[in-house]
Amino acid sequence: MPDINVNERQLDEQLAQLEQARPWSPRVISKLETFIRTAPDVEVFRVNPVQYALERSVSEAEALDLFLHATKIGLFEMDWHIVCPHCGFIIDNLHTMKQLRTHYVCAYCGAERDFALDDYIQVAFTISPQVRDTRYHHPELLSIEDIFLNYRLSKDVISPIPAYPTWPEAIEHVTRYLRYIEPGEKVTAELDELPPGVLRAMDGRACLQLTMTDEPSEQASVIPIRLVDGKFQSDDPELQPRSLTRHSMIEQPVQFRYDLQREVPSGKLVFELENRENRRSALCIYHTGRLPPPMLTLRPSLSGKKLLTTQTFGDLFRSEVIKTDETLSIRDITFLFTDLKGSTAMYEQVGDANAYFLVHQHFDALSRVIRDRNGAIVKTIGD
């Protein structure tokens, strides 16, 4: 097991601050300290607070409060990430809500769609590098396997393949080629005995798809491609940019956009790849067999909607707002509007000081009920 390097002074100081942030249940802080000190790097990277609560017998509400307060004092960092429901890769990883957009195109599978805050926009927490430096704070140093299976892939996708209990294991099983390609480098990748199905090549910005037909060929199909300006290009006239539409019984049709797409016989493929960019390319080629289910399912996690309706988030992160020119949808949410009837007349009857006290008693009572129901106060106006 790799060495775990913890900044002892920083950790002790911030745990002391965290302990004073609010009353905590017994052992909540000590459990977090043990987690920070002993968990492998991959576990303190993009922590799912709902799973953390389940695994450590902490209430979900308290676990969420714990990570929000820990983020506020600098013990953890909070990230918003957009998970593609069709391939399970993280389309975008953002540090503030202001960076969120509604519309995304997945660079890993080509899916183009709008996202709502209810599900595939998730929030996770990573240990601060000032407290504990991990290899995931330095993605440029990660192995190619780590980049794709742990850094770019969501840990929260439920694998639909019984033989592979986690989604990274399932993706590893179908991966046929993984390699860093340096600027200016040319490589040849020979893939043998490919069955019918879908083959994708991608590097996190560029994406191509080959449909392997049911009719095999004895000769190898040669696929010449080059990476230029974040896109795959080819001189092969059959390899063209295309959009495909996938229909589903449970959602609207989804458009898939590819830099290049064509049909090829099943059997042997030879990729001739050239990186014409000034950055290193992390190339992955994987074969999914037939198309995967139209929508992947996520295990219980912290959605953007859940975070926005958490009172502690509103109290601690008041500057976190959506861009004024962006609209994010929420499919299912309840708003409660209340009014203290006759409050203006009450000021005249009992005096300003007493009326002010009664109004704030009303707000306090509302706050307790809303917190107990895991909601949040959006705004109080008037008195």
In sequence order, the β-bridge partners of residue 275 are: 227
Q: Are residues 226 and 172 in the same domain?
A: yes
Q: Where are the beta strands (DSSP E) in the chain?
A: 76-83, 90-94, 103-105, 111-114, 121-127, 175-181, 186-194, 197-202, 207-228, 231-233, 240-246, 254-275, 281-289
pLDDT in tens, 18-62: 999 999 999 999 999 999 999 999 999 999 999 999 999 999 999
Cα(259)–Cα(206) distance, integer angstroms: 7
Structural tokens at position 49: 């607070």
pLDDT for 200 equals: 94
pLDDT for 223 equals: 96
Q: Are residues 274 and 350 in the same domain?
A: no
pLDDT for 98 equals: 83
Q: Which residue has the tokens 């911030």?
A: 14
CB contact set of 60 (below 8 Å; sequence gap of 6+): 49, 50, 53, 54
Structural tokens at position 145: 């396997």
Question: What stretches in the chain show pLDDT beneath 50?
Answer: none
SS3 assignment, position 241: strand
SS3 assignment, position 339: coil
- Range of the structural domain that residue 54 is part of: 8-100+117-134
Which class for 238: exposed (0-12), middle (13-18), buried (19 or more C-beta within 10 A)? Answer: exposed
* 267 contacts 218 by C-beta, under 8 angstroms: yes
pLDDT for 253 equals: 83
Q: Are residues 130 and 197 in the same domain?
A: no
Alpha helices in the chain (DSSP H): 8-21, 28-38, 49-55, 60-72, 144-146, 167-174, 304-308, 311-316, 343-350, 352-372
Q: Are residues 240 and 126 in the same domain?
A: no
pLDDT in tens, 224-268: 999 999 999 999 999 999 988 877 655 678 889 999 999 999 999
* 196 contacts 266 by C-beta, under 8 angstroms: yes
Q: What is the full DSSP assignment across 32-47?
A: HHHHHHHS-GGGSSSB
SS3 assignment, position 23: coil
Q: Has residue 325 been placed in a domain?
A: no
pLDDT for 2 equals: 67
Q: Has residue 313 been placed in a domain?
A: no
Q: Has residue 71 been placed in a domain?
A: yes
Q: Has residue 267 been placed in a domain?
A: yes
Q: Are residues 276 and 171 in the same domain?
A: yes
∠ Cα 204 210 211 (to 5°): 135
Structural tokens at position 137: 């704070």
pLDDT for 324 equals: 57
Reference 85, options 312, 345, 349, 294; nearest CA is: 294
pLDDT for 111 equals: 92
What is the count of structural domains for the chain?
3
Residues 54, 59, 60, 66, CA torsion sign: negative
Q: Has residue 317 been placed in a domain?
A: no
| φ/ψ (deg, to 5) at 316 | -90, -30
Q: Has residue 48 been placed in a domain?
A: yes
Question: Residue length, the chain?
Answer: 383
Q: Has residue 254 been placed in a domain?
A: yes
Q: Are residues 182 and 121 in the same domain?
A: no
Q: Has residue 297 been placed in a domain?
A: no
Radius of gyration (C-alpha) of the chain in whole angstroms: 25
Cα(101)–Cα(179) distance, integer angstroms: 31
Q: Are residues 352 and 281 in the same domain?
A: no
Q: Are residues 260 and 175 in the same domain?
A: yes
Q: Are residues 209 and 264 in the same domain?
A: yes
Q: Are residues 260 and 348 in the same domain?
A: no
